[in-house]
Structure 1
Amino acid sequence: MYLKIKRLIDIVLSGLGMVILSPVFLILIVGIKLDSKGPVLFKQKRVGLYKKHFHILKFRTMKIDTPKDTPTHLLADPQQYITRMGKFLRKTSLDELPQIWNIFTGEMSIIGPRPALWNQADLIAERDKYGANDVKPGLTGWAQINGRDELPIDVKSKLDGEYVQRIGLRFDIKCFFGTFVSVAKSDGVLEGGTGTKAKEEMASDKETNSK
């Protein structure tokens, strides 16, 4: 029953979000275009509900000459590819805003496990243990407010599994407002997607330039 209510909440909030945040979108679009050559948005193949692939939308944060299909943390020097505007977008997580459209169309939810990259076989397999691939991926979730990029795969998957077990309106609200606190503190944001806890990650949850 809650999943139907959850979908209704997603439609209403994402619809309102696109309208209310339209001035922010416009400012960011201008900033991206003035800062570097290339498209404003990019698409990236991710794993959705029941491991079905879909294309997530993000604001472009990397230069157009970035090696394609290479996770950020596997680049020799990620900093040389990230644009000035991109650094700001990543630090504030504003690069994720276009996913409001993914939410509106039903490919994602506001709250849920972050969608894995299509080639993150280890993360996908680990999530299978907890049923985390059987819920709609989210813009933010329980793992995101408890470590984000710093988390190794096994810990991240367990937190995603905990979300599956506790899914409900009260817990979604907790994750929603916890996200604002996490973003304000830039908790768990590691440029390039690596850290002492994340060295075993085969792919980053950050942008891989696909253009």
Structure 2
Amino acid sequence: MTRALDLFFSLIGLIAGLPVLLVLFIIGLFDTGSPIFRQERVGRNQQPFTLVKFRTMSKDTASVASHLASTSSITKFGHFLRRTKLDELPQLWNVLIGEMSLVGPRPGLFNQQELTAAREKHGVYNLRPGITGLAQVNEIDMSTPEKLAEVDAEMIRTMSLKNYFKYIFMTVAGKGSGDRVK
């Protein structure tokens, strides 16, 4: 059921959001010269996939988890994108093609071994990663891997249609601040 909802909402979001996506893309060209950010992430069953987002950090920033990156790496436009969560919009493409869900555990990096091990222990990789979820709306990020894996597992155990819409609504309404940057 959630896959059908993911398909419907991602397609509608990409079509309806196309003018916004184009404006953000153009502004991003002036901001960093390369507005789209692609990064290999850990997906369902620990399979790699390429996550797409709007770039919020300078192009030369090291490929590390957000909490390990420096705040000085974030551009002015990047601060706006992160605060409004608009940097996540291109992930609707990942949802549309089945690599992600709207709701699920945020996909980590392959170099985050502690997080990967904790999530594997809790069975988190049985589900598609998501744009938002229980951890995100409660401001739990990848800087606390074991806690994050436990909350992800709780979200999976308690997932329902009601919670699916609840997490989406909470995210759109501004609940949660995203991954911290030091």
Q: Same fold (TM over 0.5)?
A: yes
Match of 1:40 in 2: 35
Which residue, out of 16, 23, 28, partners 2:24? 28
Divergent runs of 4+, >4 A: none
Deviation string 1:17-44 (CA, Å, 9 cap, x unpaired) is: 00111111111112111223x2221211
Name which structure has the greater RCO, CA cutoff 8 Å, separation 6+: 1
RMSD: 1.8
Counterpart check, 1:54 vs 2:49? yes
Which residue, out of 147, 150, 175, partners 1:155? 147
Name the SS for the 2:37 alignment partner: strand
Which residue, out of 68, 84, 103, partners 1:74? 68
Match of 1:134 in 2: 126
Structure 1 pair 97/148, CA: closer, same or farther in 2 (3 Å)? farther
Q: How far apart are the structure 1 equivalents of 2:6 and 2:31? A: 32
TM-score by length of structure 2 reads 0.91
Aligned-residue offset at 1:45 = 0.9
Does the 8 Å contact 1:149/1:188 carry over to 2? no
Residue-pair matches, total: 182
Stretch moving more, 127-136 or 94-103: 127-136
Counterpart check, 1:13 vs 2:5? no
Q: How far apart are the structure 2 equivalents of 1:191 and 1:49? A: 24
Higher Rg of the two aligned structures: 1
Deviation string 1:55-74 (CA, Å, 9 cap, x unpaired) is: 100111122233x3344443
Structure 2: unaligned runs, 5 residues or longer: none
Percent of aligned positions with the same letter in both sequences?
39
Does the 8 Å contact 2:66/2:179 carry over to 1? no
Does the 8 Å contact 1:111/1:172 carry over to 2? yes
Structure 1: unaligned runs, 5 residues or longer: 195-211
